[in-house]
Structure 1
Amino acid sequence: MPLSAEEAEKLGFVNYVVDQNEVLNKARQLAGAIMKNSQDLVLRYKSVINDGYKLDLRQGLAIEKERGHEYYDGMTPEQFKKMQEFIARRSSKKPSSKL
């Protein structure tokens, strides 16, 4: 049975559902939000995502964890502080579970 876009959003399978004429605006908004992050971090995450496509879920999660630890261990005090601030901001905005 097909799943509607609205149902997929409600279940958390997709983050956003927008009208067709708003797709480009939403994409630009998301790209702008991504660009506010550390370029190094964005490139590392993109690498994890690209490499994860080649793996099953268990292996993909393992590589994500491994690379996350590598990045975390190499963080400067300034980067660590920014990460803590980001987590605090995100936690205060986090909606309740969709399920």
Structure 2
Amino acid sequence: MGRQSTEMLKGVLEGVVLALLSTRPAYGYEITARLRDQGFTDLAEGTVYALLIRIEQRGLVDVERVPSEKGPPRKVFTLNARGREDLTEFWRTWSFLTERLDQLREDGA
């Protein structure tokens, strides 16, 4: 990804993570792996972990510590009602922006 793509991703990464968590609970490394499977190959694990701390502090997820076969317990994140509201707002904003951007592209073609 180029610099512009990286900056754009930073702006929407929270919504993307919330969308992933809306499908099923997950822990940090699993979220990073799922994002990479979706094509976000340049995404640093530290970026995802920092984002998870922020959404936990904002009360958008519930966290459960689950024993791990390898090492310390994992923090499993589950999207809660407040997080679902935030995700709904994210999709509303995303739709607004994509409609406007599509119009700008069509007007400039």
TM (norm. structure 1) is 0.36
TM (norm. structure 2) is 0.33
Larger radius of gyration: 1
More strand by share: 2
